[in-house]
Amino acid sequence: MKKTLLSFGHGYSARALARLLIPQGWTIFGTTRNPDKADRLKAEGVIPVLWPDGDLSAAFENATHLLVSAGPGPEGDPVLNRYRDEIAARTGQFEWVGYLSTTGTYGDHQGGWVTEDTPLTPSTERGQMRVEAEAAWQSIPGLPLHIFRLAGIYGPGRGPFSKVRNGTARRIIKEGQVFSRIHVEDIAQVLAASIARPNPGAAYNVCDDDPAPPQDVIAHAAELLGVPVPPAIPFEEAEMSPMGRSFYAESKRVDNSRIKDELGVTLLYPDYKAGLAALLAAEQATS
């Protein structure tokens, strides 16, 4: 049977997955709110559908797989708010459903390690909405659901180099602060590996091997570019948006053993140094 993916909120990570699946003959329907982005998706081989008013009847009729990247809001999960009954009526049709969540669901562990079995104790409103959205998807009987808790995402067009170059990068120092992160191409290969060996009900942490202080990443980017390392700013003195400050409210090291042991994934970029080096090399190759 021909494989067809219906991708809700077809953004940065979903587009990376599409680049793997389309050459294998997949059909991909991707929703977007932006007409200009719809044109770009079409150029990438995706069938775009404008959200929320586009016609998804053909996508639902043919979909063998679902991917949900759209984040929840105060009103709940936007996909379930609109299509829960449709999805629930088709659970037997789907071979795999993937929900992209966040490691923010674990809350603050003061730099300690978390696994997929760690209780979900979010410390931010954003994390709490994700926990509720995960539960809402899990509540649909018979849905072959897989949850992917993503660390901080970087990749082409999303990295520290532009800020380091233009002088806006900051090395904010908070004692004991570490973040886990993941290259977008590794997200794509984790999703593809899960599609190849479904395990409904599973949750996966998607991150690299090297949780690191954010100031170390900025410093390394500056060193790669051969520019001065931005000065250190104590967290207490840094001017930050409420969202920026909320990221620093949580510190944890995220364990990624399950994507290796269960899905057989070998990370393309096992740490930020490998990822940044590849980004810079790609930039230089196209400049």
| Number of structural domains in the chain | 1
pLDDT tens, position by position, 61-96:
999 999 999 999 999 999 999 999 999 999 999 999
- 170 domain-assigned: no
- 128 domain-assigned: yes
Closest CA to 256 of 265, 248, 268: 265
pLDDT at 243: 86
Q: Mean pLDDT over residues 86-113, rounded?
A: 98
* DSSP designation for 269: S
Q: How confident is the model at residue 287 (pLDDT cuts 50, 70, 90)?
A: confident
- 18 domain-assigned: yes
**Opening angle at CA 222, ends 216 and 228, nearest 5:** 110
The answer, as to whether pTM is greater than 0.95, is yes
Q: What percent of the chain has pLDDT over 70?
A: 100
Q: Are the C-beta atoms of residues 45 and 18 closer than 8 Å to each other?
A: yes
- 243 domain-assigned: no
Q: What is the CATH number of the domain that holds 47?
A: 3.40.50.720
- 227 domain-assigned: no
* Partners of residue 130 on adjacent β-strands: none
- 222 domain-assigned: no
* Partners of residue 172 on adjacent β-strands: 233
What domain range is 74 assigned to?
4-153+182-208+253-269
Q: How confident is the model at residue 204 (pLDDT cuts 50, 70, 90)?
A: very high
**183 Rama sector, left if φ>0, alpha if ψ -120 to 50, beta otherwise:** beta
- 233 domain-assigned: no
pLDDT above 80 (res 1): no
Identify the weakest region by mean pLDDT among 64-68, 75-79, 233-237, 244-248.
244-248
- 162 domain-assigned: no
